[in-house]
Amino acid sequence: MTTAVHGSSVDIPTPDGTADAYLVHPADGGPHPAVLLYMDGFGLRPHLKSMADRLAAAGYVVLVPNVFYRYSKAPVAELPEFIDLAERPDVIASIRPAAQTLTPERAMRDAAVYLDWLAASPLTTEGPAGVTGYCMGAGLALRTAGTYPDRVAAAGGFHGAFLATDAPDSPHLLADRITAELYFGHADQDTANPADQIDRLDKALSAAGVHHRGEIYPGAQHGYTQADTSMYSEEAAERHWAALLDLFGRRL
């Protein structure tokens, strides 16, 4: 069952400035469980808002922050209506300066602000939130679950990038702090998340006793949920929706 939703732009004060964000919730006025949705590298744009709308229609209050707000308000770069990196390789270069403004420390300082903001909203129910993230946002979701374990009940990550690297601050190293249930939908055609990193993530979460499931989406490319890109797969995207709504339906 879906419901009518109401979306609006909001500004969220942070220690480092003002984060612009998109907030959408069921039009009945709530309260409903809170969800923090982390963007992919292409940022806050119409397609991500439509994804948030679909999640809100399932009964959630969804906040989508522009995590690159230190660089500029969204959009942080001029994007084509349809993103095909084979035709427009310059798109990645155009967003790189914005991405460089976000460090793990800054991202987690912001995460506390976003979670506080959602918790204080009259639209949300009490209790921990759900988090979902795409591409770089999957790493932010994993990091948020590990940094604020008492505040996150469920987290999903889809076509995640660099989730379990050799870096000393790799997100998977927070596994022993996580109490949320996690779900990952890995693209099998993804150089940003190769098989050895998928295995390393799974082993770290299993060793820490984290309730989690990771699935490989065959034939899916990095970015398979993003309908405004050439990487989109309707089949993989719908599989992601089923898994995410199942996770949130059980835990939120």
Which residue is catalytic, options 110, 135, 228, 240? 135
Q: How far apart are CA 11 and CA 60, in angstroms?
A: 20
Task: Identify whether 40 is a catalytic site residue.
Answer: no
8 Å CB contact between 242 and 225: no
Query: Catalytic pick from 190, 202, 212, 228?
Result: 190
Provide DSSP, 72-120.
-SSPSS---SSB-TTT-THHHHHHHHHHTT--HHHHHHHHHHHHHHHHH
Active site residue 222: yes
Run of H or E including 227: none
CA atoms of 89 and 103, how far apart (whole Å): 24
Q: Choose the catalytic residue: 32, 212, 222, 240.
A: 222
Main-chain phi, psi angles of 128, to 5 degrees: -65, 160
| Residue 97 backbone phi and psi in degrees, to 5 | -60, -35
Alpha helices in the chain (DSSP H): 46-57, 90-99, 104-120, 136-147, 195-207, 234-251
Active-site residue list: 135, 190, 222
